[in-house]
Structure 1
Amino acid sequence: MKLLQALFFPPEQPGGVSSMIPYLQDRFNPPHWEMELFSLPKRIRNKGTDFVEFDTFDWHEYEQSPIVQKYIQTYRDYLWWTKLRLQRPFDLIHAHHPIAGLVMKQVFPNTPVMMSVHSSYERELILNGGIEENGLEHRFLTSIYKELEHRCDRMFTSSRSFMEYLSPYVNHPEAISVIPNGFDEKRFKPVPHENEVTQLVTVCRLVPAKGLDILLKACAELKAQGHAYVLHIIGDGPIRRDLEELAQSLGIYEETIFYGYTLHPEEFMPFFDVFVLPSRAEAFGSVFAEAALCCLALVGTDIGGIAEQIEDGVNGLLVPPEDPLALSTALEKLIMDPAFRYELARSGSDQAKNHYSLNRVVYLLKKVYLQYK
């Protein structure tokens, strides 16, 4: 069976779906399976010139928005690159970005196209201050979901909560299935260690949606209560300077280490003690599963895919979003009680292995793929 995994970002892009898809090739072996990965190189800009039209809505109603114009041009570029590079037929195409799904069905109308929607671009833009809720861009981007439903043969999400998020924007939400992201356990190797001072770590893109301002305020409260810790922030993004200035103003800059972008954080993540990320929204939250496989205790917000991965007090701790004091209290519990911290980490690791192992996800995908053989 000839499969195409259609990504938007190149496979080496860190985080999210790129944490899973490149590792699938090792599990779909010839002669029964033949898998190819496809994505749009970053250098491809303003190449496409094709006319763009959708069946379920008129995008020209929103064309005065620069964000919509950029989205449409990216669609044209992806279409141009697809026509240029993909010639041979496939038995099945699995797309992992809305533009990829729509373009693949346009280029290969007779090939079954499965669509996995992994995250909400419009929700991220709203939380990061890029667009207004119910504005032109928001309405355009949510209209894309119904177009995906219309064109693609099957739709998936990575969590139940994100499936519920999509429901108002499609005609048949009951037809959407859930297949979580999967992770190759070989990449995550817990390391026995004893840190004299509790080491907190977070890994994410530095944008408002991740709630790192809340984390810094919680850490300031920890320091005010006399608790020793070190906070490691791995990642980069547009608000890094703002976060550094906030850490300084809160008096916790000495306890906080900003690493910037790191390609393989899983290589040294096992040496920390607690993974914490107070996101304001997460469709799935792949980094929580990765941290759990590294045997770190988890602390996250009670929203979206995070709440599906963490059972509060069993395999991690959940706190309300936008609540630095609650987050500080949760972190304090783990700093003061290493035995409890270890128990949560062990339980979290077991849960991640059982539910988010790559082998399990490959099994689920093969069952679906074979329906189209």
Structure 2
Amino acid sequence: MEILQALFFPPEQPGGVSSMVPYMQDRFNKVGWPTDLFSLPKRIRGKGTEPVKLHTFDPEPYRDNPIAAKYLQTLSDYLWWTKMRIKRGYDLIHAHHPVAALVMKQVFPDTPLVVTIHSSYERELILNGRIEEGGLEHQFLASIYRELEHAADRLLTVSDSFRRYMAPYVDDADAIGIIANGFDERRFKPISHENEVTQLITVCRLVPAKGLDILLRACAELKDKGHPFVLHIIGDGPIRKELEALATELGLYDDIIFYGYMLHPEEFMPFFDVFVLPSRAEAFGSVFAEAALCWLALVGTDVGGIGEQIEDGVNGLLVPPDDAAALAAALERLIADQTFRYQLARAAWDKAKKAYSLTRVISQLKQVYLEAAPGAAGS
């Protein structure tokens, strides 16, 4: 079986999808299923003129809206790039982004299409204060889910929580399969170490949806109580200056290090003690599984896929979103009790190795692919 893995962002971009799919390609190639990757380079913007045909709703009423217009133009750009670059067929296409999925369906209508929805663009925009919930942009972006349902031979997502989120926007949510993200264990090299001062680390894009303002306020409470720590923030984004200003305002200038973007944070993480990310929403939260495989204790919010990865008090700690006091209390427990911290980290590592292995993902996807393209099973 010859497979095309269709991404939106290039593979070198940070994030769960981009850090997983190249390893999937390697595994499928090794079992004799030739697999190519395809994505849209950043430089390709405003090139497309041919529209992507939509079948479940009319996009015309949205064209004057800037966000909807940009999305529709991106579809046209991806279509232009696909037609120019792909000159061969495949037995199956697996798309990992709505734009890639809708374009591939138009260019290759007879090729079986598997689509995995990894995250929600509209939720991110709402949480980041860029669009209004229920507004025109939200209506447009939410309509894409039913369009994907129409296009895909198999529709997948990464957590039961996110399937429930999509349910109001599709006709048959029960038909959506769940395959949680998986990770190649060879990327992760946990080390046994003793840090005199507890080292906290977070890895994310610096946007409001990640709740780092809550993390800084929780750290201020820790400092007020006399608990020593250092917080390492890996990532970049539009609110970096705002967060740096808040850190200074809270008296945390000497307790926090902003590193900016890092391509392979998993090479850095094993030297720390606690991974913490108080997200306001996560479809899966790949970075938690990655941190677990680095043998870190986990602290997260009980939202989306995070709550499916962490069993509170067993392999990590869960707190409500937007609750700095609860987050501070959870971090205080781990700073004060090194034995408990170690137990949580070990349990998180055990679960991640079993539940989030790339071998498990490949096995599940092989079954999906064979069901979607049974005629290609022997090719």
- Paired amino acid for 2:152: C
Which residue number corresponds to residue 276 of structure 2?
276
- Paired amino acid for 1:314: V
Which residue number corresponds to residue 97 of structure 2?
97
Q: Shift of residue 182 of structure 1? A: 0.7
Question: C-alpha offsets along residues 319-353 of structure 1, whole Å, 9 cap, x if unaligned?
Answer: 00010000000000000000000000000000000
Which residue number corresponds to residue 300 of structure 1?
300
Inter-partner Cα distance in structure 1 for 2:54 and 2:173: 20
Q: Does 1:66 align with 2:74?
A: no
Q: Does 1:291 align with 2:303?
A: no
Inter-partner Cα distance in structure 2 for 1:206 and 1:32: 40
Q: Secondary structure at the match of 2:171?
A: coil
Which residue number corresponds to residue 340 of structure 1?
340
- 1:247-286 to structure 2, matched below 5 A, reads 247-286=247-286
Q: Shift of residue 31 of structure 1? A: 7.2
Inter-partner Cα distance in structure 1 for 2:107 and 2:258: 44
Q: Shift of residue 29 of structure 1? A: 2.6
Inter-partner Cα distance in structure 2 for 1:110 and 1:30: 27
Q: Does 1:21 align with 2:17?
A: no
Inter-partner Cα distance in structure 2 for 1:209 and 1:230: 23
Which residue number corresponds to residue 108 of structure 1?
108
Q: Secondary structure at the match of 1:116?
A: strand
Which residue number corresponds to residue 47 of structure 2?
47
Question: C-alpha offsets along residues 49-96 of structure 1, whole Å, 9 cap, x if unaligned?
Answer: 003431111111111211111101100000000001111110000000
Mapped contact 1:53–1:59 kept (Cα < 8 A) = no
Mapped contact 2:266–2:290 kept (Cα < 8 A) = yes
Which residue number corresponds to residue 85 of structure 2?
85
Gaps of 5+ in 2: none
Inter-partner Cα distance in structure 1 for 2:352 and 2:213: 28
Which residue number corresponds to residue 319 of structure 1?
319
Q: Secondary structure at the match of 2:276?
A: strand
Q: Shift of residue 30 of structure 1? A: 5.7
Q: Secondary structure at the match of 2:223?
A: helix
Q: Does 1:240 align with 2:214?
A: no
Mapped contact 2:201–2:275 kept (Cα < 8 A) = yes
- Paired amino acid for 2:215: L
Inter-partner Cα distance in structure 1 for 2:204 and 2:237: 9
Q: Does 1:190 align with 2:195?
A: no
Q: Secondary structure at the match of 2:32?
A: coil
Which residue number corresponds to residue 353 of structure 2?
353
Mapped contact 2:279–2:321 kept (Cα < 8 A) = yes
Which residue number corresponds to residue 155 of structure 1?
155
In structure 2, relative to structure 1, the CA distance for the partners of 1:311 and 1:31 (3 Å cut) is closer
Which residue number corresponds to residue 174 of structure 2?
174
Q: Shift of residue 32 of structure 1? A: 3.1
Q: Shift of residue 368 of structure 1? A: 1.2
Inter-partner Cα distance in structure 1 for 2:5 and 2:258: 34
RMSD: 0.8
Q: Secondary structure at the match of 2:366?
A: helix
- Paired amino acid for 2:34: E
- Paired amino acid for 1:181: N
Q: Secondary structure at the match of 2:340?
A: helix
Q: Shift of residue 370 of structure 1? A: 1.7
Which residue number corresponds to residue 35 of structure 1?
35
Q: Does 1:123 align with 2:140?
A: no
Q: Secondary structure at the match of 2:322?
A: coil
Which residue number corresponds to residue 135 of structure 2?
135
Inter-partner Cα distance in structure 1 for 2:31 and 2:324: 54
Inter-partner Cα distance in structure 2 for 1:203 and 1:56: 38
Which residue number corresponds to residue 328 of structure 2?
328
- Paired amino acid for 1:47: K
Kindly report structure 1 stretches of 4+ aligned residues shifted beyond 3 Å. none
Which residue number corresponds to residue 7 of structure 1?
7
Q: Shift of residue 253 of structure 1? A: 1.3
TM-score by length of 1: 0.99
- Paired amino acid for 2:32: H
Mapped contact 1:155–1:177 kept (Cα < 8 A) = yes
Q: Secondary structure at the match of 2:305?
A: helix
TM-score by length of 2: 0.97
Q: Shift of residue 126 of structure 1? A: 0.3
Inter-partner Cα distance in structure 2 for 1:176 and 1:367: 15
Q: Secondary structure at the match of 2:35?
A: strand
Inter-partner Cα distance in structure 2 for 1:63 and 1:192: 55
Question: What percentage of residue pairs aligned between the two structures are identical?
Answer: 71
Q: Secondary structure at the match of 1:253?
A: coil
- Paired amino acid for 2:80: W
- Paired amino acid for 1:154: R
Count of matched residue pairs: 373
